A and B are shown apart, each in its own frame.
Chain A
Amino acid sequence: KAGVTQTPRYLIKTRGQQVTLSCSPISGHRSVSWYQQTPGQGLQFLFEYFSETQRNKGNFPGRFSGRQFSNSRSEMNVSTLELGDSALYLCASSLAASVEQFFGPGTRLTVL
């Protein structure tokens, strides 16, 4: 069974631009969670989608948004990029929120 895939793996943007990251969960998994990882803040929860509905949300500004499609694939969008948005963005999928989450390799976003 294929693992969680994330595209692109690396991305370079400039301040003010917007970016869309994609995550394809493991087949059959309906829950997708997004995390931001930075050296200073560690891993921080962004949001979680289950069956196309946002079920949980972390403490991030409205510039961070996401969605989930009927095939469980998820996208995350960041608008008006700031230098501080440079991070590794991890996606994780699970059959249900209370069991093991399987992580993707991440998308490394650099904002210049």
Chain B
Amino acid sequence: AQTVTQSQPEMSVQEAETVTLSCTYDTSESNYYLFWYKQPPSRQMILVIRQEAYKQQNATENRFSVNFQKAAKSFSLKISDSQLGDTAMYFCAFMYRDDKIIFGKGTRLHILP
């Protein structure tokens, strides 16, 4: 069974700093999708970034980038130049083909002014 682990329950960083959120997963599959979702205090979950496992290049979306290490089954999220609006719960998630999405427990990120 696939599992997703986020080892940092909570983190705080100063505005404008760079922060990295960790995620590891376990699967025996070779083709799958990985996601980072953001859930701000307003509760609307939004997709931050997506990575297809067959792509070696790390995905990037503006200030958000990932470090995808397939062999190590690691999928960390880096937020550069962090902003107050980045304060949220961040979930790492895994999906294999059209199966259900499996979420990690989440990391609560606080951006401090």
Instruction: Specify which of B37, B44, B50, B106 is in contact with A105 (CB 8 Å cutoff).
Output: B44
Count of chain B residues with Cβ under 8 Å from any Cβ of A? 21
CB distance from B49 to the nearest CB of A (A): 10
In chain B, residues 59-95, which have Cβ atoms closer than 8 Å to a Cβ of chain A? 91, 95
A56→B100 contact, CB < 8 A: yes
Is A78 at the interface (CB under 8 A from chain B)? no
A98→B91 contact, CB < 8 A: no
Q: Mark A78-96, 1 if CB is under 8 A from B, else 0.
A: 0000000000101010001
Size category of the A interface is 20 to 34
* Chain A interface residues (CB < 8 Å from chain B): 33, 35, 42-45, 48, 55-56, 58, 88, 90, 92, 96-98, 100-106
